Structure 1
Amino acid sequence: MWLAADAAGGGNIIQMIWPFVLMFAVFYFLLIRPQQKKQKQRTSMLNQIKKGDKITTIGGLHGTVVELADDTVVIRVNDTTKMTFERSAVNTIVSAAPTAAVDLEK
């Protein structure tokens, strides 16, 4: 009699867990995985910044990269103004620098 109750209860537990497993799989493929992919692309973009790149910051400021450090980027906004930002404040690279060396310290 106890064996029959345990066997029936075991089936119910699997039936109760199945929807949660299915929901987790849907969340993983619709939310978690795309977010991880987007974060990987952003990290790659931030690592590829180089002198001479024209960038846009998260705040919408446009400028040209003149100096790079591990965590900071110095951009030239106009002929006389240079500003320092965290590397993570870069939103996009508008245009990459030409492959030839560019003298930006004029």
Structure 2
Amino acid sequence: MFATPAYAQAAGGSAAGGFAGFIPIILIFAIMYFLMIRPQQKKIKQHQAMVAALRRGDQIVTQGGVIGKVTKVKEDGEIEVEIAPEVKIRVVKSTVAQVLSKTEPAEAPKA
């Protein structure tokens, strides 16, 4: 029935002890950010830059595994891809997974 002196002293608790309980949670969120969220954001930015740089003549692979050559880049987020001679399909730009070979930009004709 009686509390021992050790329990009586521990029951008092200070205000700093409450904040110290949140430090592990804050550290977990910081580690999660640097190990998971930040690399994913970086990967998304690289993919967006790759998609924005698509040009006619680029050899691409879609997320579905279709390999083809870009024949037309449309402004509405689509590209036209030739997967076989005279066989063209429309593909959403964001589904391009990889660019296999880039074409060099055409130089402006010299006057």
TM-score range, shorter chain: 0.7 to 0.9
What residue in structure 1 maps to residue 88 of structure 2? 82
2: CA distance, partners of 1:19 / 1:49: 45
> 4+ residue runs of structure 1 moved beyond 3 angstroms?
98-101
**Normalising by the residue count of structure 1, what TM-score does the alignment of the two structures yield?**
0.83
What residue in structure 2 maps to residue 64 of structure 1? 69
**Normalising by the residue count of structure 2, what TM-score does the alignment of the two structures yield?**
0.80
* Deviation by residue 1:43-67 (Cα, 9 ceiling, x = unmatched): 1101010000000111111110011
SS at structure 2 position matched to 1:27? helix
Q: How much does 1:9 deviate?
A: 3.4
Gaps of 5+ in 1: 102-106
* Deviation by residue 1:54-105 (Cα, 9 ceiling, x = unmatched): 001111111100111130010011111000010011110000013347xxxx
SS at structure 1 position matched to 2:19? helix
Higher percent of residues as helix? 1
Does 2:57 align with 1:36?
Answer: no
What do you get for the CA RMSD once the two structures are aligned?
Answer: 1.4
Q: Identical aligned pairs, as a percentage?
A: 32
Query: What is the number of residues matched between the two proteins?
Result: 95
| Stretch deviating more after TM superposition (92-101 or 17-26) | 92-101
Q: How much does 1:14 deviate?
A: 1.1
2: CA distance, partners of 1:82 / 1:24: 47
